[in-house]
Amino acid sequence: MELAGQLKPSSAEEQDEVYRLWLFADDAAALDMARAEDPSLPPWGSIVKDGAKAWSLYKKAAAKQPAAAAEALNALKRWLEEEAGRGNRKAVGWIDRIAEDSAK
């Protein structure tokens, strides 16, 4: 995590490498990984955005960074609702997946 935090990726390829480091890190990386997955935020490397995965990672991040995770969850929720209202099928699907996961 310390190494990944020191890196300043300047290309999509470098961003992909940082993302891979996060995959092997502990829960401390959950907030950063969520941001990489969050479709309401700018692209990160070649990571295909996934709103439901971002939601899950933000929830995981809440254990270590509650304020930042809560703010990010609220922003993602607003974005998903707005996009679903515009007819964005991916957003509708992500909302459905989040609801299903929450019901478990």
Contact 60, 72 (CB under 8 A): no
Q: Share the mean pLDDT of the chain.
A: 89
Q: Residue 5 pLDDT > 80, yes or no? A: no
Please state the pTM of the whole predicted model: 0.77
Comparing CA positions, the residue from 25, 24, 23, 27 lying closest to residue 36 is 23
Show Cβ contacts of residue 98 under 8 Å, excluding neighbours closer than 6 positions: 51, 52, 55, 80
The predicted pLDDT at position 27 comes to 66
Whole-angstrom distance, CA of residue 77 vs CA of residue 16: 25
Within 13 Å of residue 76, how many CA atoms lie on the same side as its CB? 31
**If you average pLDDT over residues 41-68, what whole number do you get?**
94
The predicted pLDDT at position 18 comes to 81
Where do the H-state alpha helices sit in the chain? 2-6, 12-23, 30-37, 51-61, 66-85, 89-103
